[in-house]
Amino acid sequence: MSSAQNLKGHSLKHCKKRLSQDQVRLLDANFSSNKKLEPERKLQLARQLGVPPRQIAIWYQNKRARWKNQSLELDYGALQLRLETALAEKRQLEKEVGQLQIELQKTRENLLACTKQAQEILPFSSFSSCGDEGGGSSSLSLHEDVSCSWQDGRQGLQLEELYACLMGSEGSARGSVGQNEKVFLV
């Protein structure tokens, strides 16, 4: 290739006009309605704007690439926000689980104390723990369902008194349980 031909080809590349703001606005309006440029639309826009069809095609290609990048950035931002929200919820739930475990442990301790207290008050009573028919060990596992029935032959212990016993109040349950009454954990 001669240097004259090279200069001619080189000068054609530099003759490409920069698009005006009005031209860019028209292309943006067309791009917003259709992201893909059809060949007949490309020729129509080239004639309307007075630029080569290749320049219209390149503009669309570049605009599509920028649009995809912006879409990816928006999607990433939305996902990042969802992740942060989920992590905050996870931390909150972990905190609640910790508090509930502490509360459960306290309730178990109160139940064991109440059980020991009932055994001291009623030395001749029959007493059994869930799954323990022999009245031996009164320890409860994490997964056992516990229901209590405090009864004597005449009348059951009031729910408030049982609750007070479970919550650690010694006086209310002690005064109402007599020597001959039986305590059952069912």
The arithmetic mean of pLDDT across residues 161-166, rounded, is 66
Q: Mean pLDDT throughout 110-139?
A: 62
pLDDT at 167: 65
pLDDT mean across residues, the chain: 73
For residue 162, the model assigns a pLDDT of 65
* Per-residue buried b or exposed e for 16-52, using 16+ beta carbons within 10 Å of the residue's own CB: eeebeeebeeebeebbeeeeebeeeebeebbeebebe
Please indicate, yes or no, whether residues 181 and 95 belong to a single structural domain of this protein. yes
The total of structural domains in the chain comes to 2
114 and 62 in one domain? no
Give the start-end residues of each E strand in the chain: 148-151, 182-185
Which of 57, 84, 111 is the endpoint of a domain? 84
**What range does the domain containing 70 cover?**
3-84
Cα 26 → chain centroid: 44
138, 78, 84: which is closest to 111 by C-alpha?
Answer: 138
- The CATH number given to whatever domain includes residue 69 is 1.10.10.60
Q: Is residue 69 within 8 Å of residue 63, measured between CB atoms?
A: no
Structure tokens at 80: 């990042």
User: Residue 1 above 80 pLDDT?
Assistant: no
The stretch 151-163 carries a mean pLDDT of: 54
Confidence tier at 113 by pLDDT (50, 70, 90): confident
- Mean predicted confidence (pLDDT) in 110-137: 64
Q: Of 53, 84, 115, which residue is a domain's last?
A: 84
